[in-house]
A and B are shown apart, each in its own frame.
Chain A
Amino acid sequence: MQHPKWFVIARNEYRVNINNIRAIRRPFPYITVAFLVVYVLYLAPMFVNLFIDDVLTFIISKAAIPMVQLMLFSIFFTMTVFPITNTLRELGTKQLEIFLAAPVKPSDVLLGEFLGKMPFYIIALVVVTGTFTALLGSLGLNFVQNAMIIAAFIMVFLTAFWIGTVISAILRTRIGKSTRAKDFGKGISAVIMLPVVAIIYAMIGGGLTEALIDPSTSGAVRAALDFLPSSWAAEIFVAFASNSANASAIFLENLVRFGGLSFLFVAVLWLGTKLANRAYSLESTTFTAPIAKPDGLFYKTLRGLRGGGSSGTLLATVFKDYSRRFENLSFIIYAVSLVVLIVVFLEGPNEGAGLNIVRQLNIMPIPMISGFVVGTISRGKRTLFLYKRAPNGIIRFVKARLLQSWLMAVPIIAIIATVMTIIFTGATLVPLLSNVLLASFRTIAMVVFLFSLALLIPFFGEESRERTGGIMVYLMTAIFTSIGFELGFSSTGWTFEKTFPNIDPYIGMLSDRLLETSIFLLIGILLLYLGIKKLNKIE
């Protein structure tokens, strides 16, 4: 029997996606369906019963609409961005040649790729809608109202994912042929989720929901939010749920919203298939090759830092290779943005007085920036072997990469420390200088520690997905080690002030921080020694 082309492509896409569970590929759908049935019939109702009273109170509150709107918008944005991010990370047009050389319509390719990924999204959809079904059951809504809410949610998800699939297909062919555009795409993929992160942080600690409830502060933002299709689904849900006793009164209103969502879904689907011909093409878009400019002041200074000669050349080279990849720079932009969001929304001036700012920096900003920097520079098995075959290559490699990491991480942290000290404590010279110097010293130690780990447990993967995974490992290691070290040091109860009662309290605190970081640096140096030994043995 001949299968439709979109089915063939969808099946192939599904096979590629479940490659990691090949051993259970055949029973996988049955296992999944069984799990979902158990979830929808037993687990979801049990789960909902645990907090049904709180939910009911929430639904009739003023916060319900903006909160659900924001949640659904975040999901809508994430579902749109997810396929785009995946595509931008691994931009490649090679497989397109298989499709374009075969008698296949571009719309079949688009639909096939969409449906091939759908089973995994359906799992998420069933979990979400299963939870809502359990919730709606306790609200006394009738079958049509329940169905309308669930269908609205499904349409929001599918619309978002279809939009993301179409955009990613267009991006893949438009920018996948130029190396510079590919690099730019990878860079964008790193920062594209920042708006959702900002919304989540603003909801948790920034008072966004409260501001949206207050009509005097929320005018334009509320209007913009109401305009989004994800908000229409939120309004259908909240309107039915908060008027369950008299749901028929708002039925017509909700039917209009539902009609709008349905129209949008069909329109987006139609437009996507029309755009498919543009989405699949191997026509070259550019013939320009990136050209390296002569060394400017920055690279000349870098060469000078290592006294010129071959060491200076090595340092300038690793910097060039790093900075010409837009992906690396955008990871750093992402890290700095995250730090700013955390400081602005989740932490505050109350926690950051005097030398406490250094402790605040030690726990999140320093590990984050160091983790991203070391994570992004630790790449390239091939370049490592270039060093390995050169005389004293490993030592040169370690020196160049370590210095590069310091030159990147320390100035960023110094700026963050300066800004935080000025904003939270006022611009007095002594705390400013001591905070900046202590934070810089801690960054130097953190980079040594993380770089040593990178040598001991290297992530050599060149694929973006593996690299992002590697960066996340360094990041998590940095954060948890830092928190653990801070807690461990505090739990000893030892301080300079207790041991030397006559010492100035500020100098005492300063000395505590210096000692703590010195111990951290010593551990890092020991690990670095082991890392270099390991690197010498790698084949």
Chain B
Amino acid sequence: MNVVIKTDNLSKYYGRAQEIKALDNLNLEVYEGETFGLLGPNGAGKTTMVRLLNCIIRPTKGTATINGYDILKDSNNVKKMIGLLAETPGMYEKLSAYEFLEFVGALYDVPDNILRDRIGNLLGLFSLYDRKDYLLEGYSSGMKQKLLLAAALIHDPPILFLDEPTSTLDPRAAHMVKDLIKDLSERAGKTIVICSHILPIVEEVCDRIGIINQGKLIAIGKIEDIVSQTKTTNLEEAFISLTGGVEEKELLSWRELRSATS
């Protein structure tokens, strides 16, 4: 299988003495046509990794290649290969959905004649066509998420990075996105990297997963392998076991003060 994403000791440190290791010596390979899930607790380094691989920030040390292009030397070609749905993406609230997709398409050099049809098709796919001329400030968070997915697909890239793709979607739209991810991978041969906390989605669509904690990749493989290695029964238990377990607490201890205040 072709390796399309390869990281080589990819690291990003912050702080004066570089004491904050957002990502530490990441070595990872993702294969062509694969759907790869990246799991990790909040602040584990997932978004840092996505930003590094999309050439949005530069690594402190190490490097990575995307489809053979080095992120340090060939950033423009890397960017052309990738469609990104960011964790906290910015939108132009004063543009309509059509205008926003037209703008993003032009940034990625999609030819005008292809762009017009593609915008229509993508808006239709995400059930936004009837609202194509509405300003984005009037869109719900779910509609914005759909539009951002459409924006990530607008240049039909071979590799997709989707950071929490279904977090704000209703069940029906989330189901559609899951089916879309499967189709993109199986029928269109796209390589997809998904960062998500929603474990059922990861379980359903990902061929392999990686678990990242405190900037380090602590597990990688097929879900069933990781579950068996951790001697747990499902992905949730495996994830909790790998990332530090659950702190035992008396969950109703706060009520003891009630008698003092009432």
Residues of A with Cβ closer than 8 Å to B? 1-3, 5, 8-9, 11-12, 15-16, 19, 92-104, 281-284, 287
Contacts and interface: CB of A to CB of B under 8 A. Distances in A.
Interface in B105-144: 106-109, 111-112, 135
Given A12-B95, A97-B88, A100-B54, 12 more contacts: A5-B107, A8-B103, A15-B99, A94-B88, A94-B90, A94-B91, A95-B92, A97-B84, A97-B86, A101-B55, A102-B104, A281-B57
Contacts of B58: 283
B218 interface: no
B90 A12 contact: no
A309 B106 CA distance: 60
Interface of B: 14-15, 20, 51, 54-58, 75-77, 79-80, 82, 84, 86, 88-92, 94-95, 99, 103-104, 106-109, 111-112, 135
A17 to B, nearest CB: 8
Contact of A19 (B55, B94, B109, B111): B94
A381 to B, nearest CB: 16
Contacts of B86: 97, 101
Contacts of B15: 287
6 contacts: A8-B107, A19-B135, A98-B107, A102-B107, A102-B108, A103-B76
Nearest to B50: A101
Given A103-B76, A103-B109, A92 B104 contact: no
Given A99-B107, A101-B79, A283-B58, A12 B92 contact: yes
A95 B58 CA distance: 18
Among A2, A11, A15, max chain B CB count under 10 A is at A15
Nearest to B135: A19
Contacts of A282: 51, 56-57
A172 to B, nearest CB: 12
Given A8-B107, A103-B80, A287-B15, A98 B90 contact: yes
A267 B260 CA distance: 71
B90 A104 contact: no
B111 A97 contact: no
Nearest to B90: A94
A16 B106 contact: no
Report the 8 A-B pairs with minimum CB-CB distance, sorted nearest first: A94-B90, A95-B90, A19-B94, A102-B107, A8-B106, A103-B79, A103-B76, A100-B56
Contacts of B108: 102-103
B125 to A, nearest CB: 21
A96 B90 contact: yes
A282 B55 CA distance: 10
A283 B15 CA distance: 12
Nearest to B83: A101
Given A8-B107, A287-B15, A100 B55 contact: yes
Contacts of B88: 94, 97
A245 to B, nearest CB: 53
Given A94-B88, A96-B90, A287-B20, A102 B79 contact: yes
Contact of A101 (B14, B77, B84, B109): B84
B19 to A, nearest CB: 10
A280 to B, nearest CB: 10
A96 B82 CA distance: 16
Contacts of B104: 98, 102
A430 to B, nearest CB: 52
Contact of A94 (B89, B95, B107, B111): B89
B57 A98 contact: no
A92 B95 CA distance: 17
Nearest to A2: B109
A12 B91 CA distance: 12
B132 to A, nearest CB: 14
